[in-house]
Amino acid sequence: MIIVLKKGATDEQVEQITNKIKEWGLAVHLSRGIERTIIGIIGDEGPVRAKPLEVFPGVESVMPVLKPYKRASRDFHPDPSVVTAPAPNEKGRPAVFGASAVTVIAGPCSVENRASLMKIAGAVKAAGARALRGGAFKPRTSPYKFQGLREAGLELLAEAKAEFGLPVVTEVMDPRLVERVAATADVLQVGARNMQNFDLLRAVGQAGKPVLLKRGMSSTLEELLMSAEYVLNEGNPDVILCERGIRTFETFTRNTVDISAVPVLKRETHLPVIVDPSHGTGHCDLVAPVARAAVAAGADGVMVEVHPDPASALCDGPQALLPETFEVLMREIDGVAKAIGRSA
């Protein structure tokens, strides 16, 4: 249920209403928009439905929210949210998702060694990327494949962050590791395989860091939004949604990138939406066209894998771009962004 306040409703009126809702044992989500303030009611609304909410001073209307995702819904939060990963030092700039600019995250699928990571970080920053991605803990289908450098990988990411001033995005797989990963990462990534790991979602929601939530490989958009709801419900408003391709019958690509997910999510939720064309396609020659399409569809950013020698990469080499190819892609993204009134 949402309570829409009249334009010009006072802080005292807002406080009176929110205090009364809390007295009834319900939680409150307050959204102050440009034109209107909206009070969202969280919890069992049964006892409240009979209350004369319309008689409170400053109330314009009271409406039920039928969608199962409450905090993620535009009904509760009509204006787009902006999520910021602060610059780690004076060498960098913040990575901002949901504003006018299209933000690019780039880096290796997995942190492999210091020399490679430093080379990639320097290259993607020079090309215009605003955040560095790199896996320290890697979920792999086979237990015999490279699982990441783990703690050593986090240490290398911290070194790269300090050297280049790029906020770091890295995946966390286990609730027990959230605190450790959050000590290095500026954005905690929840991967496709863990999208419905609800204990992990609660843990990252309590970590005090932005969360990049990837769509599960066979998940609906409603399921993605319900997973985001778990993070938001822990008091963390900084969630970035990521379309990374879903599993279909098609075999020419690794996954099927659902470009239509971008405008649908932008319609349904206030949260920023980005696209991962690397995992979405699995082929380096398809990354650029899908990245351009994502920006044209309204994505707030893209996440791209870059490696100086994809043939020798320990993880997902076929989908990684060379640094010089990534530089070309950045210019193309900038052109598409400007064509639709944005910037990169």
pLDDT digits (tens, 9 = 90+) for 276-289: 999 999 999 999 99
Share in percent of the chain as helix, strand, coil (round to 5): 35, 20, 40
**pLDDT for residue 44 is more than 80:** no
For CATH 3.20.20.70, the residue range(s) in the chain are 83-339
Residue 146 is predicted with a pLDDT of 81
Summarize pLDDT for 78-108 with one digit per residue, the tens: 889 999 999 999 999 999 999 999 999 999 9
Please state which of the ranges 133-137, 325-329, 340-344 shows the lowest mean pLDDT: 340-344
Q: What percentage of the chain reaches a pLDDT higher than 70?
A: 100
Dihedral angle, C-alpha 34, 295, 165, 316, nearest 10 °: 140
Give the architecture-level CATH label for domain 2-63.
Answer: 2-Layer Sandwich (3.30)
β-partners of residue 298 are: none
Helix and strand numbers (H, E) in the chain are 10, 14
Half-sphere exposure of 222 (CA within 13 A, CB side): 3
- Dist CA 325 CA 319 (whole Å): 12
Give 8 or 234, the one with higher predicted confidence: 234
pTM above threshold 0.85: yes
Q: Which of 159, 157, 158, 137 is nearest to 146 (CA)?
A: 137
Answer left, alpha or beta for residue 320, where phi above 0 means left and psi between -120 and 50 means alpha: beta
Residue 143 reports pLDDT greater than 90: no
| Residue 204's pLDDT band (cuts 50, 70, 90) | very high
pLDDT at 341: 94
Report which secondary-structure segment, H or E, holds 303: strand 301-305
DSSP string, 185-228: -SEEEE-GGGTT-HHHHHHHHTTTS-EEEEPPTT--HHHHHHHH
pLDDT grade for 136, boundaries at 50, 70 and 90: very high
CA-to-CA distance for 336 and 44, rounded, in angstroms? 45
**Residue range 83-339, CATH number:** 3.20.20.70
CA 322 from chain centre, in angstroms, equals 25
What percent of the chain lies above the pLDDT cut of 90? 74
Average pLDDT over residues 234-242: 97
Instruction: Name the H helices within the chain.
Output: 11-23, 114-127, 151-164, 178-182, 198-205, 221-233, 261-268, 277-281, 284-296, 323-339
pLDDT at 278: 98
Per-residue tokens: 4: 């829409």
148 CB contacts (<8 Å, ≥6 apart)?
110, 111, 135, 136, 137, 138
Domain with CATH 3.30.70.1140 in the chain: 2-63
Sign of CA dihedral 245, 249, 250, 254: positive
User: How many angstroms separate the CA atoms of 63 and 194, rounded?
Assistant: 34
Residue located via tokens 């959050």: 182
